[in-house]
Amino acid sequence: MLHLRLISPSARTDEVVSVLEDCTGVTNIAVVEGAAREPRGDLIFCDVAREAANEVIDKVRWLEHEGSIAVEHVDLSISHAAAEAEEQAPGDGDDAVVWAELAQRVDDDLRLTWAYLAFIAIATQLAGIGVVTNSLVVIVGAMVLGPEFGAIAAACFGLLTGRLRLVGRALRILAIGFAVGIAITFACALVSRGLGWIDHDSLDIGHEEVQFIVKPDRWSFIVALLAGAAGVLSVTAGKSSALVGVFISVTTIPAAGYAAVAMALGDWPEVGGSALQLFVNIAGMVISGTAVLYLQRTIWPQGMSRGSSARTRPQGGLRG
């Protein structure tokens, strides 16, 4: 279930309540007259089945300009009325996509912040250390830490909705993030080389287990396709725990770390292999992620017309 908190102009509260009462999957409607101060109006609460949320949000969308709409996830609902509302709503909540929620989430993930750059830089350095020490455990840790999937999901959503500017922003943030991560790891690798900690043999002797990072093949692309599909499903269904498996499946961060170390050692063939691996993984995830969203839009079209076309909020954090 989702919990909606609406602020409506007092003159239109009856209209909003009538809409809510007519929508399938809505229950626990409550009105507190005159409670809202900014913006002024009446406070309206209701619970709605996730699979019916698109229709409800679409019908009260005008409150975005005259009032307010807030949506929260309900972790526990002990209510016979709520259970009946879920039964009446078509489909299953795990299969439904709340398009307005997804549009806001991709906007939130497309902010070039210091935290994003810090995470991707630390993850890339961990991957570089994992490559040098031939430690798959460290490489997996770097995969989990990488924050890049948010931008990849945004690119998928932009392609689905024809918002090419959104796709451009996503690719720009990916490019800046990986450039910063590789540059910092490259500098650290140069220092390590100067100190004699690594040399030209550091990527050759006893490193067979990490060679998959620089040798992309058909399986790399298939894994990227599967990971992209699983990642988008986890985002749209609200199953964030599944994203950990997605991060571990693809070698975007390890490829960036490997490329940085290889550049510091002047091993340019390995740099080329790492760059190709990075491209294959990102391309595969974008292709399959967009395809999954297209299928979900076909299955759950309610609310897509407006929810997908909401304007993006101004980008916060760093500017560039």
Q: Does an H or E element contain 161, and which?
A: helix 149-161
Work out how many domains the chain is built from and give that number: 2
List, for residues 69-102, the tens digit of each pLDDT value.
Answer: 999 988 888 889 888 888 887 777 667 788 888 8
Q: What is the pLDDT of residue 305?
A: 44
Q: What is the pLDDT of residue 96?
A: 79
**Structural domain containing residue 195:** 100-307
Q: What is the pTM of this model?
A: 0.82
The predicted model gives 144-156 an average pLDDT of: 91
Long-range contacts of 31-35 (CB under 8 A, 24+ apart): 34/10
The predicted model gives 12-31 an average pLDDT of: 93
Q: What distance in Å separates the CA atoms of residue 171 and residue 158, rounded to the nearest whole number?
A: 11
End-to-end CA distance of the chain: 39
| Domain end call among 67, 95, 123 | 95
Residue 130 domain-assigned (yes or no): yes
| DSSP-derived secondary structure letter, 12 | G
Q: Are residues 13 and 155 in the same domain?
A: no
Residue 294 domain-assigned (yes or no): yes
Q: Are residues 72 and 104 in the same domain?
A: no
Q: Are residues 136 and 81 in the same domain?
A: no
Residue 241 domain-assigned (yes or no): yes
Q: Are residues 85 and 124 in the same domain?
A: no
pLDDT band at 31 (very low <50, low <70, confident <90, very high): very high
Residue 17 domain-assigned (yes or no): yes
Token pair, residue 247, equals 């991060």
Q: What is the pLDDT of residue 310?
A: 42
Neighbours of 37 (CB within 10 A): 9
**Residue 213 belongs to domain with CATH number:** 1.20.1080
List, for residues 255-276, the tens digit of each pLDDT value.
Answer: 999 999 999 998 888 899 899 9
Supply the mean pLDDT for the chain. Answer: 86
